[in-house]
Structures are given as C-alpha cells and as structure tokens.
Amino acid sequence: MRTRSQVWAQKAYEKVREAAKGEGRGEYRDMALKLPVLVRQAGLSQALAFVDSRGKEAHKALGNDLAQVLGYRDLRELAEAAREAELLQYLRLTREVLAAAEWFKRFAQALIEE
C-alpha cells in the first residue's frame, strides 16, 4: 500500500517528465519553482487565480497538471473547490496543494534544464 504522498509523487513525476519534452518547459519550470511560495504568501485561492490568469500556456498546463494529480479535472475545478470550501476543507486543500506542488518543484528542478 502506498501513501498519498507517494501517489502524488509518481503522478507529478509523470506530468513533469511530459512537460520537459514540450515547448514552454522553461516557463513551466519557473512556475513550478514559484508555486509553493506563492501559495504560502498569497493563499491558495489567490495563487490559483494568479496561475490561471497568467495567459501563458505553460503556466496553465502546470495548474491543470497539479489539479489532475490531486483528482480534479483541471485548474478551474480546483480553484472552484478552494473558493467554495469551508475553513477546515480550505486548510486541508491548501496542505494538499502544497504537498503536491513541492513534488512538482523537485521534479522540475531535476528534469527540466534552465
């Protein structure tokens, strides 16, 4: 039996590995490195809105990948869940997003060259 973190790590690895092959991989990497800090500083809803509003496909791809790793259809569905969550749900979702985002950060550092 695998932990939730192990499952997220495996899925994040696969997503980052795919992103490393595509165009915009540098922008994907940059946002993956910034996202955990952004969530901590601005809060979950604001961070997700920022990623969604950036207009760069690589940033939206990261947001969608993160959402899918956590079991959501896409970034907008994850952002909606964050906006509609009660306090305890919001705190739990924030912890989950941070945990998954840390995996994206680690794998982006390892798999995508600057």
pLDDT band at 55 (very low <50, low <70, confident <90, very high): confident
* Residue 74 to residue 76: CA distance in whole angstroms: 6
What pTM, to 2 d.p., does this model score?
0.94
Question: 40 near 70, Cβ under 8 Å?
Answer: no
CB of 74 closer than 8 Å to CB of 68: yes
- Which CATH number covers residue 59? 1.10.520.30
CA distance 90 to 84: 8
Percentage helix, strand, coil for the chain under 3-state DSSP, each rounded to 5: 80, 0, 20
**pLDDT band for position 114 (50/70/90)?**
confident
Query: What's the token pair of residue 32?
Result: 């993956």
60-79 tens-digit pLDDT: 999 999 999 999 999 999 99
Inter-residue long-range contacts of 35-41, CB under 8 Å, 24+ positions, other chains counted: 35/62, 35/66, 35/101, 35/104, 35/105, 36/98, 36/101, 36/102, 36/105, 39/94, 39/97, 39/98, 39/101, 40/98
For 10, the domain range is: 4-111
Count how many domains the chain has: 1
